[in-house]
Each structure stands twice: as structure tokens, then as C-alpha cells.
Amino acid sequence: MPNDDAGYPGFLFRSGAVRGTCDDPGLRGCAILGSLKPGSATTFRGRVLAPDATERTLTLIDDALLQLDDSGRFTSVGPAPPECAVEETWPGAVILPGFVDAHVHYPQTRVLGSASGPLLPWLQSTVFPEEARFAEADYALAVAEEFCEALIAQGTTLAAIYSSSHPSATDTLLATLDRRGLRGVTGVTLMDRGAPQNVLREAQEALTANAELHERWHERDGRLQLSVIPRFAISCSAALMRGAAEQAREHALLVQTHISENLDEITATAALFPDSGDYLAVYEDHGLASPRLVLAHCVHLTDDEWQRVANNDIAVAHCPDSNFFLGSGSMPLRRALDLGIRVGLGSDVGAGRTFSMRRVAAAAYDASLVVGEIVGPEELLWLATRGGAQALGQGEALGCLAPGFDADLSVVDVAGGLDKSALLDALTFRHDAGPVRATLVRGQVLKTLAGNVR
Ligand code: GUN
Ligand code: FE
């Protein structure tokens, strides 16, 4: 049903929805879609930034009414009618879709900000010793809680997460995501060489463990997914990568890995795989290239590699803050977008220094400027929400504030009276000014550890 009320895009409105005037005094003047009660969890009112489904734009609705069904899906989103009596749900805040972190490492939560880069020495001196600690159940659980708390505190509702190589810690992570009400795409981090023995796991054993976790958790409550995660070529044998590709194909799972982050990494990879023409070819040659592959970093891809990423509809996780912290370089974001590649933003904690996808968006702005491109706040906030959902293959249900989509929200305090441009700037660049007030998955506010609703 094309909307002619206020010039907003038609997709914001449920087609065929019956709209009318409510007899309930509390809802007088409001559109009616099912039985709604003022202040109930199924109706929100406030200032909304709604991503377009395909264009990298956001529509600002200054006073919107968002209506949800019992399963936490939007039934209608649009301007509140005149004289609508529903109270503003979060006064002074702006409502966006939940942020999507397209690349983050759970077992690096406690080494965030450890300045021992660049990449390869940092992995050896900081990351691998820390990840070894996840053999211990109590440690894995404590950090899983901290990790989920950090996601909720920053308004992130979905994350593509590298676990450690330990099946038990990965099971703990999944259980914690489940209990905290978050969405996650995760699996054991597969590595059978190129690191200390205490973080390696033999290929078949690791894949079997991941398959067992898949049996147990995949599609749990529609929020959790198992993923296949060969860490990067340096830490994976050919047999492990082939087995990973096979498991991903069999169950249609998301595959995550790193590529072309650092020049020494690229040199080492070429030495290990002399028969592959370039870094991307290593993954292609072992069956890993497909639209279900998400490549993190892509800082130093060649023209030909970029073209193959586009041709094969491979997704990219852009991790600009991490790239700054490890001195890796700047990914040419505009170029990737111009090639039509699906791009999400990744915090890449713990090489990234923040769980805030708004800070990551700000870093992406800086990183693009460094390579002579401008990618502004509107596009970046789109990438941090809708773009991430698409990159992770969840664009059907997530990333839009529109009928039929799941009501995953981040609600951010922001100064009043700003026009759209100033609002986008404030959300992206003024981090001190506006904390996340609430984080919701399917219309449910996620609790912080203290049990408080933010
Ligand atoms: N490449 C392989 N492993 C990692 C990791 O944990 N972090 C980053 N930034 N790059 C990697
Ligand atoms: Fe990473």
C-alpha cells in the first residue's frame, strides 16, 4: 500500500493494513493494527531513523509509531497520527535498528587495548596466550558474561563472533548469548597449525566438535546460528580448510575468516600456499568462496581480488578501528561499495578498541578519508545496521524498521532539536554526548548484568 500520508517510502507501511481511528480513549486518533494498549510492549513511539532496505539511506521520522505483533515483529511503522495519545517511549532518544557487529572475537574481550601490534607479533604475544585461558570453564563463563554485557551496553543485537578453539568455551558463549537474549553467529575458531599447541586442535576433532555444537544450538530460538570459522590461512592446514568448506556447504552455514590485513601476513600466506595465485585464491582453492563467506579486513586486496569478491557475492567485514590500532592500513570502503559488495562493520575487538559500532563507524569515516574517499554518517550508520544484517545473510528479517522485520532496536540518547544532518553527525561522532539507553531484540528490552533496564 503506497503511503501518501507524509511522503515516506511505501515500504514503511504494511500493505493492506487496516487503518482507522481507535475507540480506546488512550489510543484516540491512532492507527489501529490489532489490539494495542498504550504503553504496552507492542507499541513504541519516538524519533526514528529507518534504514532503506537497499539504498544506503536513512529516513528520519520525528514522531513515529512502531507497532509489533506478539512475536516481536513490526506490523506497522509510520508517523504517529495527529492527537495520538500514546506517550513517547524513550523521550529524548532516537530509535534505530539494533547495531550489527560483523566481526568480533569473544576471547579477546579482556585484552582489548593491548598495544603489542602489528598483527603477527600481537597474535603471538597477546592473543594466543589469552585465548589459551578459555580451556578453563569459569574463565570462559565470566568473559562470556562481560562480552554479552558489552554488546548490550552498546546497542548491538547481532554479532558475528569468533570463539576460541575450545568447544566448551564456545558452548558457554552460545548458552550466554541465549540467556541474555542476544543474536549471534559463532563457532569454534578452527586452527591446527601456526600457533602454540595449547590453542590448536586437530582438524577432524575440531570439525566434529563444531558439528556437535551445530546440532545443539543452530537456529535456537531463531537467534543463534553456528558458523564455520577457519581463523586465517596461516593457522589452517589444507585439510582443515577443505573440511570446513564441506561442513559449511552441508549445512548452508556462514563462513568467517581473515584476509589481507597485514603485509607480513600476506607474505607468510604466499609462502605456505605457493600453488595459489594470491591470498583470496587460497580460500577459493579450498572451496571456501561463496556468498556465505564473510572476509574480515581486506586492506590490501589487489584489483583482481576485489573483482572476484564482487563476482562471487562474498561479503566483507570492514574493521577500521582495528586496522588503525594494529597499523594495518585502510580498506578502500567506497571502492567495495561501488563494486556492489555487501559490507558490514566489525569492531574486531580486541584489536578493535571498542564494542561501540558508532565509534567503529567514526573510524570508518577516518579510514576512508585517509584513502581519499568520503563515506558520510548516513551511509556508515546504514552499514552498521542494515548493511551488517545483509552481510551476515540475515537481511530478510533484520536491519529495517518496517513491517515484517524483527523489532531489534538500539535506542540512543541524543540532544533534542537537531535536524537530520546534525543528528547523523551526533550519532556517529559525538560519543560522549549520547549513551545507548535501551537495546531490544524482538521488542524485548535486554537486561544489563545488574538487572537494570538501561
Ligand atoms: N588474523 C588472524 N587472527 C586474527 C585476530 O584474532 N585478529 C585480527 N585482527 N586478525 C587476525
Ligand atoms: Fe579479527
Pocket test for ligand 1, best of 123, 165, 260 (most atoms within 8 A of CB): 123
**Among candidate residues 391, 412, 427, the one where a domain is terminated:** 391
Kindly state whether residue 4 falls inside one of the protein's structural domains: no
Beta strands in 2-113 (DSSP E): 43-51, 58-68, 74-79, 93-97, 99-105
The C-alpha cell that represents 281 in the structure block: 585464491
Are 126 and 207 members of one domain?
yes
Are 91 and 103 members of one domain?
no
Are 44 and 158 members of one domain?
no
- pLDDT computed for residue 433 by the predictor: 67
Q: For residue 49, which of 36, 35, 61, 38 has the smallest C-alpha distance?
A: 61
- Ligand 1 lined by 231 (C-beta under 6 Å): yes
- Residues, beta carbon < 5 Å, ion ligand 2: 348
- Ligand 1 lined by 131 (C-beta under 6 Å): no
Kindly state whether residue 364 falls inside one of the protein's structural domains: yes
Are 171 and 80 members of one domain?
no
Question: Whole-angstrom Cα distance, residue 320 to residue 340?
Answer: 19
- Ligand 1 lined by 229 (C-beta under 6 Å): no
- Ligand 1 lined by 322 (C-beta under 6 Å): yes
Residue closest via CA to ligand 1's atom 7 equals 351
> For the chain, percent helix, then strand, then coil, each to nearest 5?
40, 20, 40
Are 50 and 151 members of one domain?
no
- Ligand 1 lined by 119 (C-beta under 6 Å): yes
Are 68 and 177 members of one domain?
no
Phi-psi region of 260 (alpha: psi -120 to 50; beta: other; left: phi over 0): left
Using the mean position of ligand 2's atoms as its centre, give its distance from the Cα of residue 174 in Å: 19
Question: Whole-angstrom Cα distance, residue 120 to residue 360?
Answer: 22
At 173, phi and psi to the nearest 5? -60, -45
Are 222 and 76 members of one domain?
no
Kindly state whether residue 286 falls inside one of the protein's structural domains: yes
**Among candidate residues 350, 370, 391, the one where a domain is terminated:** 391
Q: For residue 384, which of 365, 366, 397 has the smallest C-alpha distance?
A: 365
- Ligand 1 lined by 258 (C-beta under 6 Å): yes
Kindly state whether residue 186 falls inside one of the protein's structural domains: yes
Are 311 and 331 members of one domain?
yes
CATH code of the domain covering residue 70: 2.30.40.10
CA distances from 84 to 7, 27, 80, 266 (A): 19, 6, 6, 59
- Which ligand 1 atom is at minimum distance from the Cα of 351? 9
- Which ligand 1 atom is at minimum distance from the Cα of 265? 1
CA distances from 366 to 344, 377, 383 (A): 16, 11, 15
User: How many distinct structural domains can be found in the chain?
Assistant: 2
Question: Whole-angstrom Cα distance, residue 17 to residue 7?
Answer: 18
Q: Compute the Cα dihedral for 80, 86, 89, 93 and give only its sign.
A: positive
Residues 6 or more apart in contact with residue 308 via CB below 8 angstroms: 280, 284, 289, 314
Burial of 196 (0-12, 13-18, 19+ CB in 10 A): exposed
- Ligand 1 lined by 103 (C-beta under 6 Å): no
Are 92 and 108 members of one domain?
no
Residue closest via CA to ligand 1's atom 5 equals 123
Using the mean position of ligand 2's atoms as its centre, give its distance from the Cα of residue 76 in Å: 37
Residue closest via CA to ligand 1's atom 8 equals 351
Are 290 and 354 members of one domain?
yes
CATH code of the domain covering residue 338: 3.20.20.140
**Domain that residue 430 falls in:** 10-97+400-445
Structural contact between residues 316 and 309, judged by C-beta atoms closer than 8 angstroms: yes
Grouped pLDDT means (10 residues each) for the chain, 454 residues: 30 28 32 35 92 98 97 97 94 97 98 93 98 98 98 97 98 98 98 98 98 98 98 98 98 98 98 98 98 98 98 98 98 98 98 97 98 97 98 98 98 91 96 85 87 49
Kindly state whether residue 262 falls inside one of the protein's structural domains: yes
Residue closest via CA to ligand 1's atom 1 equals 258
Pocket test for ligand 1, best of 256, 261, 321, 347 (most atoms within 8 A of CB): 261
Residue closest via CA to ligand 1's atom 3 equals 231
Kindly state whether residue 454 falls inside one of the protein's structural domains: no
Kindly state whether residue 450 falls inside one of the protein's structural domains: no
Are 339 and 224 members of one domain?
yes
Pocket test for ligand 1, best of 258, 264, 272 (most atoms within 8 A of CB): 258
- Ligand 1 lined by 14 (C-beta under 6 Å): no
